[in-house]
Amino acid sequence: MTATFPNRRQALATLAALAALPAFAHDHADHTLDPMAPLPGESIYRLDATLQDQDGRSFPLSSLRGAPVLASMFYTSCDKVCPMIIETLHATLRALPAGERAGIKVLMASFDPGRDTVAVLKKTAQARGCDGSWVLTRADESTTRKLAAVLGIQYRRLSDGDYNHSSTIDVLDPSGRIVARTAKLGGADPVVTAAIHKMAAARG
């Protein structure tokens, strides 16, 4: 298991279409978004990526704009860290007031689109108690790597078919900027819940 992250230069080399990515964005002023408004330069939604969810629906990454998102990556055959990531996300949601929790989306993108079919993602969502606010996705290999780059996540496939990967959870504001990040697993990280509280307060 690695805990390192690709730096911004690596992400920019992979994703020339994105503007320079700051470590985190701190301006929470535009949480009620005009869907036709230009995205900020540091938004991950500037990535032209099509994902497929656990219901077989294909959608652009940018369609997630408009609400805070907890975003991470995983693969369903992982029996160690990935279940802990999912449980940490559940713990984070439970730690939020009901009003804040109701407005959150969760994005879990697979490292392993070859084995993580729609049916497998659906079965995993059901087994892990992921309700309608959770989106478990797959994409082609190129899109998967680009998505990992903008989320600050590293992974590589091992010879036995498993993956070595970081355990990052990102908090995205409604316009797709990363406003907090954690690699702590097992419970809600106060850094994450504080970022969500701040966005909720800004919305009034």
Cβ neighbors of 194 (< 8 A, separation 6 or more) are 180
Q: What's the domain range around 161?
A: 8-203
Strand partners, 181: 170
Residue 130 lies in a domain: yes
Residue 13 lies in a domain: yes
pLDDT at 51 over 90: yes
Structure token digits, residue 13: 């080399």
Name the phi and psi angles at 84, rounded to 5.
-70, -35
CATH code of the domain containing 14: 3.40.30.10
pLDDT at 24 over 70: no
CA-based nearest residue to 144, from 78, 26, 50: 50
Residue 2 lies in a domain: no
Residue 187 lies in a domain: yes
Residue 1 lies in a domain: no
- Enter the pTM of the model: 0.84
pLDDT at position 110:
97
User: Domain tally for the chain?
Assistant: 1
What band does 161 get if pLDDT is binned at 50, 70 and 90? confident
Using one digit for the tens of pLDDT, what is the confidence trace for 141-153? 999 999 999 999 9
pLDDT at position 26:
39
Residue 31 lies in a domain: yes
Share of the chain above pLDDT 70, in %: 82
Q: Which helix (H) or strand (E) holds 37?
A: none
201-203-204 Cα angle (round to 5): 65
